Amino acid sequence: MTTPLTHTEQPTLSRRQFLQACLVGGGLAVSGFSLLHWLTGPRLTAQTFIGQAGTYSADIALLIRRGLQELGVTPSEIKGKRILLKPNLVEPHQSLSHINTHPLVVRGAVEAFLHQGAASVVVAEGPGHRHDTLLVLEESGLADVLYEDHIPFHDLNTMEGVTMPNLGGHTKLTSLTFPRVVQEVDWVVSLAKMKTHHLAGATLSMKNFFGVMPGNYYGWPKNVLHQVGIPQSILDINATIKPHFAIVDGVTGMEGDGPIMGTPIQAGVLVMGRNLPAVDATCCRIMGINPHQIEYLRKADQWLGPIHESLIEQRGESWRYVYHPFKLIPEIPAHQGIRLA
């Protein structure tokens, strides 16, 4: 089994390797990862998996199981674990499959982890735009899956909080309050949606954890986090909660004025991995977005994980094979200058 996130020790560079490193220096400079560090320091590496699924009628559970296997997540690692799946539920619109993580992706993830020997799998979310979580569950179609499959659900907006020191340090917040369930599970999994975002540029597995923060503490739509900075909050939350895995629903994504007002786009993929910056960088490339131009990914690079393409080992499909540029809105500042060249 390969190590999911490692420090690659510095080898002795040949003349050709030195010149090759110089050629990528421009991309490194954009990310803030210096050429000197590239040549002399250890580097974080990771793996991501891309699987194709043309529609939600595909065998999603089998595809996720394949991804887990390709990424070295063995049944012995999952056996007996308590798994928390955090989908992206924004608005109650069952007919608009590009807004929320699709219920069949949630079902597939539950089945995949149980097949791997998980002791339990729960689904948990704290919708940012609606106080009535039950309405969101019913109108999104997820309530039917939860009921039919007897899957436990936690409303994170109203759950009692536990306060932890802020390990990110990018906002002025000295501590962060998470729902207590995050301390009662072994794995926290981001079950995100592939979407553009009118403030962050792209919303994927890292941004998805805004929904973990209880509305009773952070308001609607998580106003406290918006006030201290969205990119900064994304970094602080992920550095503190230390999620274990990510699965991004890109079967039907959202392009344009996301994360709510955009239009559907059939990207036909699930993207997954242990390291969230690497997963999100891979998603960005599929979407035709330069991950080095997304602020929270640029700042996460070589701190929370790698985003440079050469440091991400690709499993499954190549991102170039499933490349599907998402529409960007020129009038939206967060969309300006982020197109992948």
Q: Summarize pLDDT for 28-55 with one digit per residue, the tens.
A: 444 444 555 556 667 999 999 999 999 9
CATH entry, 47-335, from 3.10.450, 2.60.40, 3.40.50, 3.10.20: 3.40.50
Q: From start to end of the chain, where are the E strands? A: 6-8, 43-52, 82-87, 120-125, 153-155, 161-165, 175-179, 187-197, 201-203, 245-255, 263-265, 269-273, 312-316
Q: Tokens at residue 40, please?
A: 């002399």
Q: How far apart are CA 208 and CA 249, in angstroms?
A: 12
Q: What is the pLDDT of residue 7?
A: 52
247, 189 contact by CB (below 8 A): yes
Q: What is the pLDDT of residue 123?
A: 98
Q: What is the pLDDT of residue 136?
A: 87
Distances in whole angstroms, Cα of residue 303 to Cα of each of 167, 241, 245, 313: 12, 15, 17, 18
Cis preceding-peptide flag for 325 (omega within 30 of 0): no
Q: Is the dihedral of CA 102, 126, 210, 312 positive or negative?
A: negative
Q: What's the 3-state SS for 287-298?
A: CCECHHHCHHHH
332, 198 contact by CB (below 8 A): yes
Angle between helices 142-149 and 103-115 (to 10 degrees): 30
With b meaning 16 or more CB within 10 Å and e meaning fewer, what string describes 308-325? bbebbebbbbebeebebe
Cis preceding-peptide flag for 221 (omega within 30 of 0): yes
CA distance from start to end of the chain: 35
Q: What is the pLDDT of residue 73?
A: 98
Q: Per residue in 271-292, pLDDT tens?
A: 999 999 999 999 999 999 999 9
Q: Which among 258, 257, 321 has a CA at the least distance from the CA of 286?
A: 321
Q: Tokens at residue 82, please?
A: 């308590």
The model's pTM is 0.89
Q: What is the pLDDT of residue 9?
A: 44
Q: What is the pLDDT of residue 5?
A: 53
Q: What is the pLDDT of residue 10?
A: 44
Question: In the chain, which stretches have pLDDT less than 50?
Answer: 1-3, 9-13, 16-18, 20-33
Which amino acid type is present at position 170? H
Q: How far apart are CA 137 and CA 131, in angstroms?
A: 12
Element (H, E) at 217: helix 215-218
Residue ranges per structural domain of the chain: 47-335
Helices and strands per DSSP (H, E), number in the chain: 13, 13
Strand partners, 250: 269
